[in-house]
Chains A and B, each alone.
Chain A
């Protein structure tokens, strides 16, 4: 049995503050119910006590029931008093009142002296000891009722049946409510802890970023080995900044989708700038990965043809019905006709393969290039095709 179900079906009283609060509320509601059924028992007794052989004993029983009702409502109100002793006495008083019924009423009676009042003890057991407690108390009360009864009518059977069902059901609901309350409490605490952890990590990350940026700056100025250190610090600075920018976004449950901005931002380096719209841009996961991969191929082209540290810029722009990803560099550009030459010669150039992959995703590519213009790819995708 899973721990969750184990909790639900177990016999264990509440141990958690949230669960105890649920019990508090339930016992308060039960307190009201106890008074209602007590008044009912007293009213019925006043109407019918004329023919009873021991009416004075009956009145004494009702006085004890009234006193016990008051004591029980007081006692159950505080968690620490809700022990075995209280619950045992509660049940014993009910059973005692039941057992005195034949003596008070003589032969040929129909309803017991406490009547519905016995449900107070049964439900108290159900709330505290859950469904098993409710069942045990209901069996004891109903067993006693049936033992002392001269004859069993259809109504008696109905009452017995209802109480036998009611005890365990209330017990189960009590467990369920307690468990839900505990879980909500736990979730709230986890959320608060996560928020605090995030706040702290922002502070720590910011401090680290400051130092890395400073090392990079000073190192570059000092030159030599320090410049090498500065370069390393710069690379880490970019990596951490990318992580921070995306980690502090509220992570959305995107289902089968991914934030394209986040995928693209992984490509950021000291020389590659990624410009994003500032909000998550969810697209189907496969599209996000493929587009990021295509952009990666373009950037690798830049490193290959322009220079290992050549600057490049990536822009993701939402255009309403479409969206565009641009990749640009300031390199020498692709000479006119070279792409066509490559196709004619049966060589599928890198550029050609990029265009093909974009077309496979339902997008179009536009290439602006030429001597002195650098190389600029614009990939446009319709939103509908997603």
Chain B
């Protein structure tokens, strides 16, 4: 288990009770809460100076929203991790945040221990999925695959058979340990497969954004 005290965390939530509760839990667990923010503007203003390793982010915050904050945080520091903590778990928003670079997602009804575990794993570079998120990601790959191959999507990302299998088991609620046992893989390999499914989506998302920018002529201004 890595040293918890070393982890710098920023908590972004517009609900003061939640913000304080999460921050207190993290501090009691020995983590270093370097900043809190109540909205997207505050979060982005405090992020550069606070230099958190992990941003615990509510998606429904006063603008810029959680998805935009995620994208900007990852753009400024690709090594930073974003853990989404959402109350409503709006499917589209969660998927967009993951495509923007978030590597963890929990709904707020998760227990304190689940939150701490998730935060540690995200800080280590692991991905934290709920079965619900795995289902969304499977659905997204299906949509990308079935979208008519036009000039916009000549290179839609695809999952390997093994990645699909792993993701499906995550969606069915198996822990990484259970998956490793069932597929006779190492725990690390399972983690890598899950990470890859997100990495490909994020990469595809970035390529799409760049292509969009070029099409719109935004590159001329640079």
Contacts and interface: CB of A to CB of B under 8 A. Distances in A.
B60 A317 contact: no
A214 interface: yes
Contact of B140 (A244, A278, A376): A278
Among B60, B131, B173, find the residue whose CB has the most chain A CB atoms closer than 10 A: B173
Contacts of A248: 90
Given A216-B109, A245-B88, A326 B139 contact: no
A138 B191 CA distance: 85
A121 interface: no
B168 A330 contact: no
A277 B90 contact: no
Interface string B162-175: 00000010011110
Given A214-B21, A316-B135, A320-B146, A275 B87 contact: no
Nearest to A237: B109
B138 A210 contact: no
Nearest to A276: B135
A75 interface: no
A207 interface: yes
Interface in A256-301: 270, 273-279
Main secondary structure of the interface of B (DSSP, over half): helix
A276 B91 contact: yes
B21 A313 contact: no
B135 A277 contact: yes
Contact of B135 (A203, A237, A315, A319): A315
B17 interface: yes
A287 B209 CA distance: 39
Chain B interface size band reads 20 to 34
Contacts of A211: 17
Nearest to A234: B109
Given A217-B21, A238-B109, A277-B135, A328 B172 contact: yes
Interface residues of A, number: 44
B67 to A, nearest CB: 15
B131 A205 contact: no
A184 B131 CA distance: 44
B112 interface: yes
B168 to A, nearest CB: 7
B116 interface: no
Interface in A72-114: none
Given A214-B21, A276-B135, A313-B131, A320 B142 contact: yes
Nearest to A273: B131
27 contacts: A202-B60, A202-B88, A206-B88, A209-B88, A210-B108, A214-B15, A214-B18, A216-B109, A217-B21, A221-B112, A237-B109, A241-B107, A248-B90, A273-B130, A273-B131, A275-B132, A275-B134, A276-B91, A277-B136, A277-B138, A277-B143, A278-B136, A313-B171, A316-B135, A317-B138, A317-B168, A328-B174
Given A210-B108, A275-B135, A276-B91, 6 more contacts: A206-B60, A209-B108, A213-B87, A277-B135, A317-B138, A320-B142
Interface of A: 202-203, 205-207, 209-214, 216-218, 220-221, 234, 237-238, 241, 244-245, 248, 270, 273-279, 311-313, 315-320, 326, 328, 330, 376
Interface of B: 15, 17-18, 21, 60, 87-92, 95, 107-109, 111-112, 130-132, 134-136, 138-140, 142-143, 146, 168, 171-174
Closest 10 CB pairs of A and B: A277-B139, A275-B135, A313-B173, A213-B108, A209-B87, A275-B171, A278-B136, A278-B139, A315-B171, A210-B15
